Amino acid sequence: MDKFLLASIRAELHGVPEYAHKEERTASIIEKYLMECSPDELYTNVGGNGIIAGFKGKDEGESLMFRCEMDAVPTENGPVHLCGHDGHMAILLGLAYILKEEREFSGKVWLFFQPAEEVGEGASKMVAELSRFRINFDYAFALHNKPGMTANSIIIYNNVYAASSVGMELNFSGSASHAAYPEQAANPTFIILETVEEIKRMNSQKELFSDFVLGTVVNVHIGDANYGVTPGYGTLRVTLRAYNEMDLNAFYKRIESFATERCEKASLNIDITQHDRFPATINNAFATNKVIEAAERLNLELKYSDSPERGSEDFAHFASIAKACFFDVGNGFDGDDIHRDGYKFNDEIINTSVELYRAIIYK
């Protein structure tokens, strides 16, 4: 595959970064290149701006799905490709060009260009539409570039790839008072601070859970900017994450119980809601072995991660309907980590990734 062509495609996609659910120009570019590859099936506007291309092999066999992401990272200066999704799309388009020329494989290959990954909504929306197109697959694969790891190394995660997580919003309401008479208020400030301390305590109490958990305070808002008023309301927003779904549920319940009990004693009302729930992304052993065997045939350096990623991945929705493997490709040491201003996607990993996917298909 012409690495200069794929680098050029990535640069083109890099130049039109778009927010989740707004990937119209990105989708147009992808569709343009896919049309050159003559897929047997092509579906657009799936789960929003998502695109699915299907390629039939010469014989009956297993159905394989490969997925990439379309949206860019939101920043103060607008959307920017600081996660490498532009590179991931170029990889899948490179695979499409190979499938155009080489149909000497068994089964069927599906290429999924998924929107709205950054907000964790695109995968579930695509999955919900699959029955409409009568699409199913036996295996699902996805990769992510990983800065700080040797370029073109393949990083394998046994069992869990990425943590489950949930956003927790706690809204406290009481009654305000004149700041000169704080004893007259039902003020949530101290309950909010106690809840933050309790989350901090649970983060360090490993015996409460079977594996890694982490609660991160992402936002606190109490009362108004008024020096004459004791606050009567407040909001605490927290992201909880865990490698084990049962631990995540237990963590949530503990915080819910703690805050509710404190509010009852302080004559405060509390309303708790969930947001951005991600299941854990769990790798299947058979799918993972396909990646390992392909990497070994290509003599690529294999590394095995000691622990899952702390972040969450909505690829978990695809993993729930097929045998799946999500792995990383080392991005090298030039540049910063993903989602940071100094991040740089390494074009040298595009061809390696295409060839690895190719080796999974053409055994």
Give the residue numbers spanning the domain of 252.
164-278
DSSP state at residue 207: G
Strands 229-230 and 177-178: antiparallel
HSE-up of 308 (CA within 13 Å, CB side)? Answer: 24
Which of the four pLDDT bands, split at 50, 70 and 90, describes residue 169? very high
137 and 182 assigned to the same domain: no
* Buried-state track 106-130, b at ≥16 Cβ within 10 A, e below 16: ebbbbbbbbbbbbebbbbbbbbebb
How does the average pLDDT of the chain come out, rounded?
96
Q: What average pLDDT does the segment 153-166 reach? A: 96
Report the C-alpha gap between 301 and 329 in whole angstroms.
10
Residues 12 and 58 in one domain: yes
Same domain, 272 and 347: no
Structural domain ending residue among the three candidates 278, 300, 328: 278
Task: Note whether 28 and 156 are same-domain residues.
Answer: yes
- Identify whether the C-beta of residue 195 lies closer than 8 Å to the C-beta of residue 170: yes
pLDDT of residue 20: 97
Whole-angstrom distance, CA of residue 181 vs CA of residue 184: 6
- Residues 287, 326 within the same domain: yes
Q: Which of 228, 250, 278 is the last residue of a domain?
A: 278
- Distance between CA atoms of 314 and 312, rounded to whole angstroms? 7
pLDDT tens-digit series, residues 226-268: 999 999 999 999 999 999 999 999 999 999 999 999 999 999 9
- Reported confidence tier of residue 308, pLDDT bands at 50, 70, 90: very high
> Which residue blocks in the chain are alpha helix, DSSP H?
3-14, 24-36, 85-101, 122-133, 189-204, 245-265, 285-297, 316-319, 348-361
Whether the predicted pLDDT of 8 surpasses 90: yes
Ranges 27-31, 103-107, 141-145: which has the least confidence: 103-107
Residue 228 CA to residue 283 CA, distance in Å, equals 56
* 274 and 353 fall within a common domain: no
CATH of the domain at 220: 3.30.70.360
Identify the bridge partners of residue 172 per DSSP, sorted by sequence position: 234, 270
Q: The tokens of 275 are what?
A: 């947001």
Structure tokens that stand for 338 in this block:
């993903």
- Residue 50 token pair: 């998502």
Query: What pLDDT does residue 106 have?
Result: 95
Q: How confident is the model at residue 363 (pLDDT cuts 50, 70, 90)?
A: confident
Average pLDDT of the segment spanning 221-226: 95
pLDDT at position 2, please?
A: 78
pLDDT at 1 over 80: no
Same domain, 145 and 180: no
pLDDT value of position 200: 96
- Residue 115: CATH number of its domain: 3.40.630.10
Q: What is the pLDDT of residues 51-81, one digit of tens each?
A: 999 999 999 999 999 999 999 999 999 999 9
Q: How far apart are CA 48 and CA 70, in angstroms?
A: 11
Tell me: do 259 and 220 sit in the same domain: yes
Amino acid at 29: I
Name the DSSP class of 148: T
Q: Which of 296, 298, 291, 306 is nearest to 361 (CA)?
A: 291
Residues 44 and 130 reside in one and the same domain: yes
Nearest-angstrom CA–CA distance, 5 and 260: 58
Q: Are residues 102 and 195 located together in one domain of the fold? A: no
Same domain for 205 and 138: no
Residue 276 pLDDT greater than 70, yes or no: yes
Closest residue by Cα to residue 34 from 96, 115, 124, 101: 96
Total count of domains within the chain: 2
**Residue range 106-116: average pLDDT?**
97
Name the domain boundary from 255, 278, 301.
Answer: 278
**Mean pLDDT, range 334-362, rounded to an integer:** 97
Q: State the pLDDT at residue 26.
A: 98
For residues 111-120, average pLDDT: 95
